[in-house]
Amino acid sequence: MSGDGEAKFWLEPKVELAKNYRYSKKQLKQIESLIEVHYNELVSTWQQHFLS
């Protein structure tokens, strides 16, 4: 994945693209797949950081 783009995804209530800057549809699908694979880890880390 190139460092030239930026994307924001919502994790809840479902994984969903919020913003995209310079990523292709193919790259966004790859990113979304990675988010789905690591979903539990992402949510857990977010909760530890913001709800502690």
pLDDT (0 to 100) of residue 52:
81
Collect all residues with Cβ–Cβ distance below 8 Å to 7 and sequence separation of at least 6: 17, 19, 20, 21, 23, 28, 31
pLDDT tens for the chain, residues 1 to 52? 667 999 999 999 999 999 999 999 999 999 999 999 999 999 999 999 999 8
Cα dihedral 6, 21, 10, 41 in deg (nearest 10): -20
pLDDT (0 to 100) of residue 30:
98
Distance (Å, whole) CA 19 – CA 45: 21
Q: What are phi and psi of 20, to 5 degrees?
A: -140, 135
pLDDT (0 to 100) of residue 43:
97
